[in-house]
Structure 1
Amino acid sequence: MMLDKETTPTANTKPNLAAKYRGACVEDLQLPPAFCLSEDARISHALEAAYEREFDQLPILNDRRKPIGYLHVPSLKQKFEAGSIKEDHPVSKHITHFPLASRSHPYTIIQPLTPLEELEIFFINAGVDFALVTDAERKFILAVATKDDLETFVKRRG
């Protein structure tokens, strides 16, 4: 039997994303529920919540409960330990704001039924390490998915 070299996979060939995730979606990652803070929350509350949940990013909501950005917890911890911020400071001064949606920066909706290959493409194209998982109408943040979550999923599945 003769095998066609162009269609026969080799050890050097990267599997395509669909084969890599075998039809899995964000829901299959079994992510813990998201924990969000309001922009007027205190640094002490943010650090405590992140520590308890082992989160590196905390979504920040405005007074209308819309996501406006996130806190990068490792850098917040560094600033706190260095004494450059105090525990009673509001988190609003330390938010990394999301860019406003526009034609050049449209929102990508990541929801529980989003295929994992689309999530990986989002990470690559947006150049980010995490994504907020929302309901289809973007009313609620359900979870935070990271690149590490994808890697762990692939390792678990073998």
Structure 2
Amino acid sequence: MMTQLSSPIAEPPKVSVDRYRGAVVEDLQLPPAFALPFTEHVSRVIELAFEREFSHIPILDKHRKPLGYVEVASLKEKWEAGQMDPNDKVEKYLTKFKRSSSEPYTLITPLTPLSELEEFLKSNIFALVTDYERKFVLAVATSDDIKEFAKRGGF
């Protein structure tokens, strides 16, 4: 009599599913970044932001590296409340990017997978898309950009 040995059925390996099918930031086709120097006057920042309908503007240092950003609505409120001089430099009102060993910089480039960008945007208002050396701000990405891409692509 022959006995047949039964072997347990192996479960297939768990594979993370990329709902964006390998799409990267570059596939969002974002417009070129609009950023301003830290020396720009608040009045000019507000004017340029409203012309372009931007809610947040990256602010750059003298070497064109990102220092932080300004929230346009907040600037406008302070101006209308008389809490600032329109000739003040924008550096006085910027929110600086946190860079420390406990909060490392998250590099977002044109080749960053959209799934990684989506995860980053769960805890951030926007992402600066830079080159690999973080020398140039190439674009600004938001959750709305990903949603629009998903809608267009049927994801």
TM range (shorter): 0.7 to 0.9
User: Is 1:72 equivalent to 2:71 in the alignment?
Assistant: yes
Structure 1 residues without counterparts, runs of 5 or longer:
1-15
Larger radius of gyration: 2
1:17–1:117 Cα contact (<8 Å) kept: no
User: Is 1:111 equivalent to 2:90 in the alignment?
Assistant: no
**Alpha-carbon separation, structure 1, partners of 2:33 and 2:110:** 13
Give the Å deviation of 1:30.
1.3
User: Is 1:128 equivalent to 2:124 in the alignment?
Assistant: yes
User: Counterpart of 2:129 in 1: which secondary structure?
Assistant: strand
- Give the letter for the 2:141 counterpart: A
Instruction: Give the 4+ runs in structure 1 shifted more than 3 A.
Output: none
Normalising by structure 1, report the TM-score.
0.82
The one of 146, 150, 153 aligned to 2:146: 150
Give the Å deviation of 1:28.
1.2
Give the Å deviation of 1:17.
6.2
User: Is 1:137 equivalent to 2:136 in the alignment?
Assistant: no
Query: What does residue 82 of structure 2 align with?
Result: 83
Equivalent pairs, count? 140
User: Counterpart of 1:18 in 2: which secondary structure?
Assistant: coil
CA RMSD of superposed structures (Å): 1.7
**Alpha-carbon separation, structure 1, partners of 2:144 and 2:73:** 16
Structure 2 residues without counterparts, runs of 5 or longer:
1-15
**Alpha-carbon separation, structure 1, partners of 2:107 and 2:55:** 21
- Percent identity between matched residues is 56
Residue deviations 1:77-125 (CA, integer Å, cap 9, x gap): 222222222321111110000112x32111111011111001011122x
Query: What does residue 18 of structure 2 align with?
Result: 18
